[in-house]
A = this chain, B = another copy of it.
Amino acid sequence: MSCETDTIETVRNSDQRMTPQRLLVLSAIRHSGEHININQIHAQVKKAYPIINISTIYRNVAVLKELRLISETYKTDGETLYEWIGDHTHMHMMCRDCNDMIEIDDKYLDSFKKDIRDDFGFNIDIDHLAISGLCKPCKQLEQVGYDN
């Protein structure tokens, strides 16, 4: 896989080493459908490398996040999810009632980002935010007067 090669280069070019453990963490995240949490990564990596320690997972995830190869999303219910940063960057909207998450293309942020850059000089990362709110169905339930 050539994309794997890019990844390895990215890691090496930054004074970091590509260890088997790190590679496994990386591919667990990449090959999971979309979002994956620490325990799922651990379980996945264990299949190929049973003795790996959970702290190694934590530390590798921190490194990969730092390198911006993966994104970290704090769900509003507390869970932390990781995701491969591919080309279709997006953000997350999470419903505060049903906890459902929808993905929204980054293009919606374009003008917001521009305003912030113009007025504050702050350059927003197209990082993955879990923005909380009320999804359509829950909003409708609320309007019907059906409390919670």
Residues of A within 8 A of B (CB): 74, 93, 95-96, 102, 104, 108-109, 111-112, 115-116, 119-125, 127, 129, 131-136, 139
Contacts and interface: CB of A to CB of B under 8 A. Distances in A.
A107 to B, nearest CB: 10
A120 B93 contact: yes
Contacts of A111: 111-112
Contacts of A93: 116, 120, 122, 124
- Total copies of this chain within the assembly: 2
Nearest to A112: B112
Contacts of A112: 108-109, 111-112
10 contacts: A74-B74, A93-B124, A109-B112, A111-B112, A112-B112, A121-B135, A122-B136, A125-B131, A125-B133, A127-B132
B104 A116 contact: yes
Contact of A108 (B102, B115, B123, B131): B115
Contact of A135 (B74, B102, B122): B122
